[in-house]
A = this chain, B = another copy of it.
Amino acid sequence: MVASHSRKVILTSRPQGVAQAENFAIVEREDRAPGAGELLVENLYLSVEPAMRGWIADAGNYSDPVGIGQVMRALAVGRVLASGSSDHAEGDLVCGWFGWQERATVAVDKVIRKVPENDLSPSLALGVLGINGVTAYLAMTGIGEPKPGETVVVSTAAGSVGSAAGQVASILGARTVGITGGPAKVRQCIDEFGYDAAIDYRAEGLAEAIAEACPDGVNVYYDNTAGAISDAVYPQLAIGARVVVCGTAAIAQWDPWPQGPRIERHLLVKRARMQGFVIFDHMDRWDAAVAQLSAWIRDGRLTYREDVLEGIEACPDALAGLYRGENMGKRVIRLACA
């Protein structure tokens, strides 16, 4: 292989709260040829997701933080340019932990899966057929367990996890209520993602709106936010409710640790169950989840929205932009070769 160079986005300083553009730098480095058990991958799409805030934070998380000077941890989908492993051939489309960089030399265990659904855009492997959709599917079915006719409330209902979670619950026969920010996303929830009702949490009277939309209580709360939205949902839980704790996007930081209304009494009185879900515990079910979600996409029963930024130059500000709420759909970055 001829020596080549590619660009990488590295973390240069650790932010308080959400990482901003100035916490990153773009550097160019020589691509290293893969050794035994390694691959050289040319990335087609890079992922941007709220969980990155946690991957960058120094403490209190479920994985070690990204080190200063390291390439930003990210999921990506790309093609194998050169392979040092018999498991992967040149030209394979793969999805995995390839980082915010144009080309990545990685150990094969960074590959999450080959991407066989060649009839669909490879970018979907980062969204509705990736960590977002698979999380939504496995957490909704495994913890939420919605039954036909039950009421399911989803926070960040128009987001890439939330929109899939709501649609999965609908497909399973539940009545779905989305909570989202602003009239445009409320319309998107109803028109695009098929929620039976949608609530703008920025409007007055959130608690009353939830009570009105859920006259028989909330059987499943799929929570991506924590914070004030969740505080308004808990009093409406029905007997035997299930709460999926999938994210805490509404809490800007956990140091100092924030206070909120105590949850214990709701869980006791309603005999409710509340459980955290982290996708990395469930990698063995990833392929089955993708197969089901792909089938629903081909049937037209499951839809999605993407927010595509162009070029690696878009990376440093892309996460901050998510937290500014500027995207409508799963944010990905398309690289030149895609």
Contacts and interface: CB of A to CB of B under 8 A. Distances in A.
B261 A267 contact: no
A187 interface: no
A124 to B, nearest CB: 25
Contacts of A269: 60-62, 276, 278
Contacts of A281: 271
B276 A275 contact: no
Contact of A248 (B261, B265, B278): B265
Interface stretch (A84-92, A251-259, A285-293): A251-259
Given A273-B275, A274-B274, A257 B262 contact: yes
- This chain: copies in complex: 2
Contact of A264 (B60, B248, B271): B248
Interface string A139-150: 000000000000
B265 A254 contact: yes
Given A259-B259, A261-B257, A274-B275, A268 B251 contact: no
A275 B267 contact: yes
Contacts of A158: none
Given A274-B275, A275-B274, A245 B226 contact: no
A71 B245 CA distance: 43
B261 A268 contact: no
Interface of A: 60-62, 223, 226, 230, 245-248, 251, 254, 257-278, 281
13 contacts: A60-B269, A62-B269, A226-B265, A230-B264, A248-B265, A248-B268, A258-B261, A259-B262, A267-B275, A269-B278, A272-B276, A274-B274, A274-B275
